[in-house]
Amino acid sequence: MIKKKQMLFGNMDGELVVAILENGKLVEIHFEHMERLTGNIYLGRIENIVPNLEAVFVNIGKGKNGFLRSKDIVLPNKKSSKDLQVGQKVLVQVKKDPIGSKGAQLTMNIGIPGRYLVYMPFAHGTIGVSKKILDLDERKRLHNIVDPLISKNEGVIVRTVSQGIEVEILASELEDLKTLWKEIEKKYKRSRKPKELYKEPDVLEYVIRERYDEKVTEIITNDVEIKNRLEVILKKFEARKNIVKLIEEDPIKLFNINQKLERALRRVVDLDCGGSIVIDSTEALTIIDVNSGSNISGNGFREMSLKTNLEASKEISRQLRLRNISGIVLIDFIDMSKEQDKKLVLETFKEELRKDKGKTAVIGFTKLGLLEMTRKRTSPPLKNSLFSKCPICDGRGFVISPKRLINRMVNDLSNLYHTEKPKKVILNLHRSLSGYMNGERRKFIRNKFKGVEFDYKFDWYDPNSYNINIKKK
């Protein structure tokens, strides 16, 4: 249960950062510099049509061409994707941000989001109510409110925060979204070259629109301008008043967000019970392993494993949100022999995922006991904003073992020993090898290359290589 939910607006490394805490734990972080294309609307030009992929590549003026699948193509007058031609201009919206070598994923089924509703001009009368609204009477009420407000060609998605909101507020927002759409349409008709027609709001408005809800107990900042802007945004969304708190110290520093972020993003995340989870991401999927570690609580293995798995399910849910992990996720919980234990862990995990604004689907346990799930990707993972690929290991996370590297060095020394006849050799090695090159190994090298004086310097920049400097005199 969330007893305290805080939104912190402060500064980290010279840029605006928004951190969201639940019961004192960091669950999400948003950076001003994180360029999101998801939700932006573009005039695009078709560059290539690939029937085998059932897709179209579209130039939207943003580097790599976007990828438009056949199922995301919406054309007037019941035309099909076969009617598209290279060079044709199209109106598209980004569904998923570009990542790695992949360009942005696009759709022609436009959706313009507000705080309470998403207006879809080409949805042909479709009305969707958020699945997270469980009350059947409320679902029916919301459906009946928006139904008379749209034409047979339009559609609306009613968002979770619409629960309990008055008719007037929903109708007013829908009218605003329709007006915005008309402006986008005008720009599209007047333009020819690929260009941006609509851009999602900055981090302040985006976070309030997408993350603010009735569970937020306080919004904290130390910047008067940010406070004033937040109050204007909250008023626009008909949110509670007097919830923004101005303090003297930067809240990012006051709440130790840097330290919380560093601890949370480690490969091995410790659990309070003494266990841990290990998170490894690949190109295809993310694997999470649950370990009991030093946890010896409970009466026997069953009780210990259940306690660890229950705590892990809560932490994994938090990590998915914080790291913005998406795609296929496999979770290897500690073995549970009883079906009732598996059911309890599964129910706990699903309940925790209800806090996630991202779209998740839990498939269930496989025959091997792995829990399968997916989380929809709209923007790149957090690590892409905080880290870059290691220039030493090329992102593999490994370097050459000391034994293999020194054997290679000895082989190179052997060739130089016979061709150059050196009197002195200066060996530049990475500092991580200082312990490996002990007295015994140095003695081995001296005996192998008699008459040569060796000087070891552990100042080399690269753990995968070394430098051999020979002196003949």
Question: In tens digits, what is the pLDDT along the chain, a chain of 473 residues?
Answer: 778 999 999 998 888 999 999 999 999 999 887 778 899 999 999 999 988 888 899 999 988 899 999 899 887 665 666 778 899 999 999 999 888 778 899 999 999 999 999 999 999 889 999 988 999 999 999 999 999 999 999 999 999 999 999 999 999 999 999 999 999 999 999 999 999 999 999 999 999 999 998 899 999 999 999 999 999 999 888 777 789 999 999 999 999 998 888 888 889 999 998 899 999 988 889 999 999 877 666 678 888 899 999 999 999 999 999 999 999 999 999 999 889 999 999 999 999 999 998 899 999 999 999 999 999 988 888 887 777 777 777 777 788 899 999 999 999 999 999 898 899 999 999 999 999 999 999 999 999 999 999 999 999 998 989 999 998 77
Domain that holds residue 30: 5-36+201-258
Whether residues 129 and 166 fall in one domain:
yes
The CATH number of residue 411's host domain is 3.30.2320
In a domain, residue 463? The reply is: yes
Whether residues 361 and 456 fall in one domain:
no
Rounded CA separation 316/312 (Å): 6
pLDDT of residue 298: 64
**Domain endpoint, select from 164, 198, 232:** 198
Whether residues 69 and 159 fall in one domain:
yes
Whether residues 82 and 227 fall in one domain:
no
The CATH number of residue 56's host domain is 2.40.50.140
In a domain, residue 176? The reply is: yes
pLDDT of residue 77: 64
In a domain, residue 206? The reply is: yes
Structure tokens at 196: 């941006």
Backbone angles phi, psi at 26, to 5 degrees: -70, 120
**Domain endpoint, select from 258, 287, 304:** 258
Rounded CA separation 243/229 (Å): 13
| Cβ pair 60, 23 in contact under 8 A | no
Whether residues 378 and 407 fall in one domain:
no
| Cβ pair 65, 102 in contact under 8 A | no
Whether residues 325 and 433 fall in one domain:
no
- Residue for token pair 């998406």: 326
Whether residues 194 and 48 fall in one domain:
yes
100 CB-near residues (< 8 Å, 6+ apart)? 283
Nearest residue to 373 (alpha-carbon basis) of 247, 458, 464, 288: 288
| Cβ pair 95, 72 in contact under 8 A | yes
Nearest residue to 337 (alpha-carbon basis) of 362, 301, 373: 301
**Domain endpoint, select from 357, 386, 415:** 386
Whether residues 170 and 110 fall in one domain:
yes
pTM: 0.79
pLDDT of residue 127: 95
pLDDT of residue 36: 82
CA distances from 468 to 391, 419, 457 (A): 22, 14, 10
Taking each helix axis as running N to C, give the angle between helix 203-211 and helix 224-236, from 0 to 180 degrees, rounded to the nearest 10: 50
The structural domain count of the chain equals 4
In a domain, residue 394? The reply is: no
In a domain, residue 235? The reply is: yes
In a domain, residue 373? The reply is: yes
Nearest residue to 247 (alpha-carbon basis) of 272, 268, 270, 218: 218
Whether residues 105 and 68 fall in one domain:
yes
Rounded CA separation 81/185 (Å): 21
Rounded CA separation 54/41 (Å): 22
| Cβ pair 143, 158 in contact under 8 A | yes
Whether residues 155 and 280 fall in one domain:
no
Strand partners, 11: 16
Structure tokens at 447: 């005996």
pLDDT of residue 81: 65
113 CB-near residues (< 8 Å, 6+ apart)? 39, 159, 209
In a domain, residue 321? The reply is: yes
Whether residues 193 and 72 fall in one domain:
yes
CA distances from 147 to 136, 161, 175, 322 (A): 16, 18, 14, 36
pLDDT of residue 342: 93
In a domain, residue 154? The reply is: yes
Whether residues 122 and 137 fall in one domain:
yes
